[in-house]
Amino acid sequence: MGRKKQRHARRDRDAARRHAAAYRCGHCHSTATATPGGVVAIHHDDGCPVLGGAVSDLGDTLRAAAASGGVVLLDASTGAHVTAFFGDGDAPGEG
């Protein structure tokens, strides 16, 4: 049981690393890093319009997802989005 959880956590971390490596802000050209817990942190410059919410980072997110094998899920009513990764036969509807 615990072993399976570890593999899952490592896969999440690897996906986060791939996504972080592929992410580049289209406005301030900042990069991103992934935490050991699999969270992607984007390091925008202080004056970046994405930070203030004036400009969406959706285009950058879509490009990074395409390059890293992710899928962007969008809440059309709020514009909030998250990048998800389905792999190793764990996609919805598969075994």
Query: Which residues of the chain form contacts with Zn ion (CB under 5 A)?
Result: 25, 27-28, 30, 44, 48, 50
* Residue partners of 55: CB distance under 8 A and separation at least 6: 27, 49
Min. distance of Cβ 84 from Zn ion in angstroms? 22
- Nearest CB to Zn ion, comparing residues 41 and 91: 41
Q: What is the DSSP string of 51-92?
A: HHTSS--HHHHHHHHHHHT-EEEE-TTT--EEEE---TT-ST
Min. distance of Cβ 45 from Zn ion in angstroms? 6
Displacement of CA 94 from its chain's centroid (Å): 23
- Nearest CB to Zn ion, comparing residues 28 and 67: 28
- Nearest CB to Zn ion, comparing residues 23 and 85: 23
Min. distance of Cβ 39 from Zn ion in angstroms? 18
